[in-house]
Structure 1
Amino acid sequence: MKVGFIGLGNVGGKLSGSLLRNGIDLTVHDLNADLVAACVEKGAKAAEGPAQLMRDCDAVITCLPSPAASDAVMQEMIGEVTEGKIWMEMSTTDEAEVKRLGAMVIEKGGAAVDCPVSGGCHRADTGNISIFAGCDRATFARILPFLTTMGRRVLHTGELGSASVLKVLTNYLATANLITCSEALVVAKAAGMDLNTAYEAMKISSGTSFVHETESQVILNGSRDISFTMDLVLKDIGLFQEVADRAGVPLEINPLMIEIFKDGIEKYGPRELSPNIIKRLEDKTGLDITAPGFPAEMVDDEPEEPGYEVHPQGKGAVAAE
């Protein structure tokens, strides 16, 4: 099966690399010619644009920075969608929007999947990231070999759009973790604690989290580099707020987080690295929240392993229809 990939940025470049590393017949496109050239050097073919990709490939993956970008690409591809073609949306996007675009694909005889990833860019680079997939079960069975090539843990979340809801939910939780870890580290420093010791105390306690064990390290290093920026955080928690609003849930914490990141963007710019949200407190207190011995970037030190489907606890294995 021939696969097309559109969007070779921080996440897409790594996911497409996993496909190439595992021998998938891959054709790519990006507005940045340098990113395309780098992918071609690894064995991919270059496409003239989205329409050609949909015409020539069996499945086309999009991994783009915004719902608007996905819409623009779909307008170019939709005329080439025919019976059996698959569109796989790996961007973090809006549930309603992926359903709207997916309906266009399905009407033309194709299949649509929203399959965002979670677990950090460092895991996308090694094929160990987690992937959610929203689609009918028959389509899921068709694309599972690609998903387990790009990721280690793959969860079929239900119908189209369900994966996007769960993706922004998990990003909301990660953002809340980032803010609370930042506050905890600043309070530790202000209270006279050694930050290396504070990091370990948090790590071995009930207060630990994936975000602490990864992002707190690059915060303490001072690089703050997780290849993710404040504008993307604001987009994600904004999408989560839209889900909550549509469901009629009166959130309390997320609206405050939105204001915190709006303030961070106003102070430091939209493309500031997201862990530098801690700078708001560093600036207010005059404290330097760094410590020796921590890495400048997150690296996945787990070996690449074959991916597999995750079955929700209590539901057991789901038989293909």
Structure 2
Amino acid sequence: MRAGFIGLGTMGKPMAYNLAKGGFLSSVWNRTQIIAKTLAQTLNITYAQTPAELATAVEVICICVTGDKEVLVITEALAPNLNPQKIVIDFSTVSAETARQAAAIVRSQGGDFLDCPVSGGLEGARNSTLTMMVGGHQVTLEKIRPLLNTMGKSITHMGEVGTGQSTKAVNQIMAAGINQAVTEALAFGEAQGLDMDKAIEAISQGAAGNWFLEKRGKTMVQGTFNLGFKITLHHKDLSICKAMAAQLGFSLPLAEGMLTDYQQLIDQGFGEEDISALYRLKRPN
């Protein structure tokens, strides 16, 4: 099963690398061609000049790009070269409606489409431990499951196309709440003069322990915000969540508060930092 990868950014590049380690990757494309060319030379595979060229060379086309518009533009570009033997997997985080539109384009050419957003950040992409939430036909998922296993540790079929993205939206809102809770609580601890390394160790073993506290707690209190998931990307994802909620007449006050906080950090020039940089707004002056 030959696969191609479109979008070699922060998440896409390590995902493509692990796909190659699994023996599936044969071609890549990226908007900035030098990135695709360099990776192709490193992995001894080909790089395509266009998405359409990549589609002719492989059976499975993986997409991992920034937003809704990009997903639809690329899917339209792939369409002329799709057929019943082609499967398109979108790892991007977009709206459920965009996933359904992309699926309609692919299926109109006889191919099939899975929306497969991921969670786990840069560490998960590098270590092949991503969590994947999949929308689409179960039979199609089973065909490409060995391919997904090279990049993720947890793969859950959620239902029809769009349900993967809907589940990712739930994940992103929950991640926002955890970020708020952890940064605010640690700032409170620092204001009291606690030994924060000891406090984090103690709390991590109790009911309030969580991945974010374990992986980001000690670095954030030191003023270090090593990239795992960019503020700009979480801001984009929460904007998608807000739009999806508005269509349902559903209120998301926590997400809206996070959008305000993230925008403040972006305006201050911190948008490319990890989301743990929210601590900048919480810590004692």
Superposition TM-score, scaled by structure 2 size: 0.94
1:225 pairs with 2:226 = yes
Secondary structure of 1:125's aligned partner: helix
Kindly report the root-mean-square deviation, in angstroms, between the aligned alpha carbons of the 2 structures.
1.5
Pairwise CA distance, 1:14: 1.0
Q: Is the 8 A contact 1:10 1:227 kept in 2?
A: no
Q: Which aligned pairs between 1:99-114 and structure 2 lie closer than 5 A?
A: 99-114=100-115
**Does the 8 A contact of 2:19 with 2:147 survive in 1?**
yes
1:76 match: 77
Aligned partner of 1:280 in structure 2 is 281
Kept in 2: contact 1:87–1:105 (CA 8 A):
yes
* 8 Å CA contact 2:114, 2:134 repeated in 1: yes
**Partner of residue 23, structure 2:** 23
SS in 1 for 2:268: helix
**Aligned-residue offset at 1:221:** 4.3
Distance in 2 (CA, whole Å) between partners of 1:113 and 1:196 is: 43
Q: Deviations over 1:201-246 (max 9, x none)?
A: 2211211111111122331343311342221111111112222222
Question: What is the correspondence of 1:95-174 to structure 2 with a 5 Å cutoff?
Answer: 95-174=96-175
Quote the residue 1:300 is aligned against.
none
Verify: 1:194 aligned to 2:195, yes or no: yes
Please report how far the alpha carbon of residue 34 of structure 1 lies from its aligned counterpart in structure 2 after TM superposition.
3.8
- Offset from partner CA, 1:94-150 (integer Å, 9 cap, x none): 100110111111111110100111122112112122111111111111111111121
Structure 2 contact 55–82 (Cα < 8 Å) conserved: yes
Contact 1:129 / 1:151 at 8 angstroms: preserved in 2?
A: yes
| Kept after mapping to 2: 8 A contact 1:117/1:167 | yes
Alpha-carbon deviation of 1:250? 2.2
State the partner residue of 1:308: none
In the alignment, is the contact (CA less than 8 A) between 2:16 and 2:25 conserved in 1? Answer: no
Instruction: Name the stretch that deviates more: 124-133 or 36-45.
Output: 36-45
Q: Verify: 1:244 aligned to 2:245, yes or no.
A: yes
Structure 2 residues not aligned, in runs of 5+: none
Secondary structure, counterpart of 2:127 in structure 1: coil
CA contact (8 A) 1:19 1:26 kept: no
Deviation at 1:80, TM superposition (A): 1.1
Q: Any idea what the Cα deviations from partners look like across 1:177-218, whole Å, max 9, x if unmatched?
A: 112111111110101111111111221121111111112233
Distance 1:94 1:134 in 2: 12
AA in 2 matched with 1:12: G
Q: What is aligned with 1:305?
A: none
How far, CA to CA, are the matches of 1:217 and 1:240 in structure 2? 29
* Secondary structure in structure 2 of the residue aligned to 1:250: coil
2:180 corresponds to which residue? 179
Give distance in 1, aligned partners of 2:110 and 2:146: 22
Superposed structure 1 runs of 4+ greater than 6 Å apart: none
Partner of 1:10: 10
Q: Which has the higher helix share?
A: 2
Number of aligned pairs?
284
What is the CA deviation profile of residues 247-286 of structure 1, one whole-angstrom value per residue up to 9, with x for unaligned ones?
Answer: 222222222122121222122343243221211233xx32
The AA in structure 2 aligned to 1:30 is N
Partner of 2:63: 62
Partner amino acid, structure 1, of 2:139 = A
CA distance, structure 1, for counterparts of residue 104 and residue 216 of structure 2 = 38
With 167-176 and 5-14 compared, the bigger mean Cα shift is at: 167-176
Contact 1:114 1:163 in 2 (8 A): yes
TM-score (norm 1): 0.84
- Alignment-mate amino acid for residue 160 of structure 2: E
Q: Which has the higher contact order (CA 8 A, sep 6+)?
A: 1
Structure 1: runs of 5 or more not aligned? 287-321
